[in-house]
Structure 1
């Protein structure tokens, strides 16, 4: 299990007005900063299109293994983004981490 690939996803809504410059900047900064962390692969930003939930956006990324995932969580860029931006600008979120079943 420690060597299996992990897909890390988080869906969220921002405190900013929809379509605002602040919303756009947060998404751009999140992509730029978080995708720069060496263990992050295939970083993607999504806009929620389903009426089945109350979230507006999603970030998704892939890690080669648990060690890379833990390195991301402890990386100063991630820690700084969470404390300086995420904690202040995100209204609600749900995080999901996937590993292959088979």
Structure 2
């Protein structure tokens, strides 16, 4: 990861029951929609397995730099996903954005 690259992660819980068809569809749609945005790299969707954390799912993706992240954040597909899926189906979340530490 270059010093300019941004690793964007979000961990979250859904209003749907864990392991339900609705939860699986949300993860699939998130992966399909968000990974299709041109500046998104290495998109992954996760199920939480640690007993140390009480969030259920996660998304992770990489961006070449802040401009690439900003492009994603403002992209119509991302805005639509947030407005029409995220706000309706996610009960809580924690968003984390990292850049490599300078040595």
Tell me whether the two structures share a fold, i.e. TM-score over 0.5.
Answer: yes
Question: Which shifted more, 61-70 or 50-59?
Answer: 50-59
2:45 aligns to what?
Answer: 45
- Provide the C-alpha distance between the structure 1 equivalents of 2:81 and 2:33, rounded to a whole number of angstroms: 8
Q: Is 2:75 aligned against 1:75?
A: yes
Report Cα offsets for 1:29-62 as digits up to 9, x if no partner. Answer: 0000000000000000111111112100110000
With structure 2 as the length reference, what TM-score do the two structures score?
0.94
With structure 1 as the length reference, what TM-score do the two structures score?
0.95
Question: Which shifted more, 46-55 or 57-66?
Answer: 46-55
- Provide the C-alpha distance between the structure 2 equivalents of 1:12 and 1:19, rounded to a whole number of angstroms: 14
Q: 3-state DSSP class of the match of 1:33?
A: helix
- Provide the C-alpha distance between the structure 1 equivalents of 2:71 and 2:63, rounded to a whole number of angstroms: 10
Summarize the alignment of residues 1-102 of structure 1 with structure 2, pairs less than 5 Å apart: 4-102=4-102
* Segments of 4+ moved more than 4 angstroms: none
Matched positions, count: 100
CA RMSD of aligned residues (A): 0.9
Deviation (angstroms), 1:18: 1.5
Deviation (angstroms), 1:100: 0.2
